[in-house]
Amino acid sequence: MFGTLARLGGALLLALGCTAIAAAAEPNLTVTVAGRATTYAPASLLGMPAATTVNVANDVAYQRDMSFRAVPAANLLGGVAPDDTLRFVASDGFVATLPASLLLARSGAVAYLAVEPADARWPALKPDSPTSAGPFYLVWLNPERGGITPEQWPYQVARIEDVPPLLKRYPMLAPGASAHDAVRRGYAVFEKNCSVCHTLNLGGDATVGPDLNVPYNPTEYMRVDALRRLIRNPQSLRRWPAAKMPAFEAKLLSDRELTDLLAYLSHMADRKAAVPALK
Ligand code: HEC
């Protein structure tokens, strides 16, 4: 059965020509904003009058200077208000939620959607894997002027959509009404740096790492110094080649932000959501 199908597939490939098949398989980008969904093929973005070449110093995905063909992110976001929130969903489960004001800016830190051309593929992200950061990758010029962190450079983007802010959609992430300022600041640190990969109380969009409150909160089973060490450099606490969590060095996350983040995490240990029973 499978053999027949495979052979049939082979015959079809020959009949249609490989290029037609390759073009049909090209992943598209869906942008859903202001109540309207638009699907873009890489070639249609690259053909926009606003398409340009951007030179990115010290690119986040490739860790070196890169040059990309790209369109200004703002050009894809017609009808979006500055106080909206945009969600970038990547094909690997990473989900960045970014304030629209950052993406609409035309000066200071400016966001571009880099598009991988079919005839000029980008390099692989890792030597042992075939995948690149493409076909769609959010890059920034002058990121330091907007306080843009590495978690705000989503790559392998499949969808962009406007959504209510994270806390509106996931109230189980919110600190209690009488929480200290440090806890509130810590929530903001969590939202920007951690919610792109982790849920907390099962709230959040991303599914890359484990939930950070249920069944157990890391502050309940890790010493504070070990947890600080893990966040600063996960590999310095537990080392294995397939680990995916990035290091948050002091230039990305100050000591005070880290302290605030831990205040938020330990506060949430007393505000657990009910977890569905294990199957
Ligand atoms: C790019 C995705 C990503 C980001 C961003 C990220 N993590 Fe992780 N994290 C992971 C993954 C995946 C794991 C599981 C171990 C691994 O593969 O590295 C993990 C593991 C952990 C663990 C260990 C849990 C355990 O018991 O083993 C803690 C604690 C943690 N992350 C906290 C954080 C905090 C706090 C932040 C924000 C400062 C953060 N992570 C940001 C992906 C991420």
Mean predicted confidence (pLDDT) in 242-247: 92
User: What b/e readout covers 107-133, taking b as 16+ CB neighbours within 10 angstroms?
Assistant: eebbbbbbbbebeeebeebeeeeeebb
Instruction: Kindly state the percentage of the chain with pLDDT values over 90.
Output: 82
Q: How many degrees, rounded to 5, is the angle at CA 213 between CA 209 and CA 214?
A: 90
Q: Which of 2-11, 213-222, 246-255 has the lowest mean pLDDT?
A: 2-11
CA of 265 to the centre of ligand 1 (A): 13
- Contact criterion met (CB below 8 Å) for 59 and 51: no
Mean pLDDT taken over the chain: 90
Q: What is the pLDDT of residues 208-219, one digit of tens each?
A: 999 999 999 999
How far apart CA 273 and CA 279 sit, in angstroms, is 18
End-to-end, the C-alpha distance of the chain in Å comes to 34
Query: Count of CB atoms within 10 A of residue 14's CB?
Result: 9
> What's phi and psi for 252, nearest 5 deg?
-95, -35
Atom of ligand 1 nearest to the CA of 242: 17
Half-sphere exposure of 82 (CA within 13 A, CB side): 5
> Which band of pLDDT confidence, cut at 50, 70 and 90, is reported for residue 4?
very low
> Which band of pLDDT confidence, cut at 50, 70 and 90, is reported for residue 3?
very low
Say yes or no: CB of residue 230 within 6 Å of ligand 1.
yes
CA of 244 to the centre of ligand 1 (A): 8
> Which band of pLDDT confidence, cut at 50, 70 and 90, is reported for residue 5?
very low
Smallest CA separation from ligand 1 atom 26, residue: 218
Q: What is the pLDDT of residues 10-64, one digit of tens each?
A: 334 444 444 444 444 568 999 999 999 999 999 999 999 999 999 999 999 999 9
Gyration radius of the chain over CA positions: 21
How far apart CA 45 and CA 69 sit, in angstroms, is 10
How far apart CA 16 and CA 37 sit, in angstroms, is 30
Query: What is the reported pLDDT for 267?
Result: 98
Burial class (CB in 10 A: 0-12, 13-18, 19+), 154: buried
The dihedral through the CA atoms of 93, 80, 193, 111 has a sign that is positive
Q: What is the pLDDT of residues 64-95, one digit of tens each?
A: 999 999 999 999 999 999 989 999 999 988 99
- Rounded to whole angstroms, what are the CA distances from 93 to 86, 96, 150, 160, 208? 16, 10, 16, 13, 6
Query: What is the reported pLDDT for 251?
Result: 87
What is the rounded (10 degree) CA torsion for 240, 242, 244, 247? Answer: 30
Residue 98 pLDDT greater than 50, yes or no:
yes
Query: What is the reported pLDDT for 13?
Result: 40
Query: What is the reported pLDDT for 1?
Result: 37
How far apart CA 23 and CA 18 sit, in angstroms, is 9
Say yes or no: CB of residue 191 within 6 Å of ligand 1.
no
Which of 235, 245, 261 to mutate for ligand 1's pocket (most ligand atoms within 8 Å of CB)? 245
Query: What is the reported pLDDT for 93?
Result: 87
Query: What is the reported pLDDT for 276?
Result: 84
Give which of 40, 23, 41, 22 is closest to 31, Cα–Cα. Answer: 40
Residue recorded with tokens 């037609």? 20
Residue 8 pLDDT greater than 60, yes or no:
no
How far apart CA 17 and CA 23 sit, in angstroms, is 11
Mean predicted confidence (pLDDT) in 98-119: 96
Residue recorded with tokens 């919610």? 195
Which of 197, 251, 256, 264 to mutate for ligand 1's pocket (most ligand atoms within 8 Å of CB)? 197
Query: What is the reported pLDDT for 10?
Result: 39
